[in-house]
């Protein structure tokens, strides 16, 4: 950032920090720090795409992603870089989960996420290590092969995502676009970001919704209806 500022970014009238997946989490973690690099006259906002990793219970009753995050926080000494507003009352491992951070981010933040995030389904909800009898192997790869009980389980994951964003969405400065797709990172692909047939909620696509929020044209708190009603999704299928 110091290098970019020296090359002219310090004169920016508007700036957007964005990232997808791990970069989406980083956008949340460093949003306020990024904002402080600019004068108050600069419009500064942050966009997190597919970074809303949930501390969810997997199909075996354990918390696989919490164990993964524990390793990351410990290995990299992340605790010292996590917000004190969180670590003062929660374990640093929990403070690596966005659900415990988003309410305290002061800078306007937009959360773009698929309600059935493909990476989280594969690595957090039903990872191979938790799927003792390989009941989820086909469902992990192709949502169309999920049984009714498995879909119901995934509906619970979606409900958790909506619960943890409820308070966040009440702040008008923040934006939200949660569509009911089996996808991951929808801002970095043209077909999902800004194509004629890209995913929509109501009559607005992702790029238009983010643009309306960034330029303060309108408030954006968009939540799509539960699977299978969204016919605009570009769902990911794995071999």
Looking up tokens 């997997």 gives 58
Residue 109's contacts (CB-CB under 8 Å, 6 or more residues apart) are 27, 28, 31, 45, 46, 47, 48, 102, 168, 174, 175
Catalytic residues: 21, 117, 184
How far is residue 82's CA from residue 146's CA, in Å, rounded to a whole number? 37
How far is residue 18's CA from residue 45's CA, in Å, rounded to a whole number? 9
If you ran DSSP here, which 8-state letter would residue 225 be given?
Answer: P
Looking up tokens 């003792």 gives 132
Give bridge partners of residue 20 from the DSSP assignment.
Answer: 49
Task: Tally the residues of the chain.
Answer: 239
């Amino acid at each position: 950032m110091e290098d970019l500022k020296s090359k002219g970014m310090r004169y920016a009238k508007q700036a957007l920090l964005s990232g997808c997946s791990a970069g989406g989490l980083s956008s949340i973690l460093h949003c306020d720090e990024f904002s402080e690099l600019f004068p108050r006259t600069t419009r500064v906002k942050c966009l997190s795409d597919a970074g809303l990793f949930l501390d969810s219970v997997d199909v075996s009753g354990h918390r696989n992603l919490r164990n993964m995050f524990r390793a990351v926080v410990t290995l990299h000494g992340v605790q010292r870089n996590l917000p004190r507003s969180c670590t003062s009352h929660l374990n640093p491992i929990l403070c690596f989960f966005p659900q415990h951070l988003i309410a305290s981010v002061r800078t306007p933040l937009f959360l773009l996420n698929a309600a059935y995030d493909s990476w989280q389904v594969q690595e957090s909800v039903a990872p191979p290590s938790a799927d003792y009898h390989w009941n989820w192997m086909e469902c992990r790869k192709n949502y169309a092969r999920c049984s009714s009980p498995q879909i119901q389980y995934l509906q619970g994951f979606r409900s958790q995502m909506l619960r943890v964003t409820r308070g966040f969405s009440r702040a008008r400065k923040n934006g939200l676009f949660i569509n009911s797709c089996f996808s991951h990172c929808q801002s970095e692909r043209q077909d999902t970001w800004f194509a004629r047939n890209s995913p929509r909620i109501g009559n607005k696509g992702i790029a238009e919704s983010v643009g309306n929020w960034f330029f303060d044209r309108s408030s954006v708190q968009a939540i799509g209806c539960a699977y299978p009603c969204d016919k605009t999704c570009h769902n990911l299928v794995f071999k």
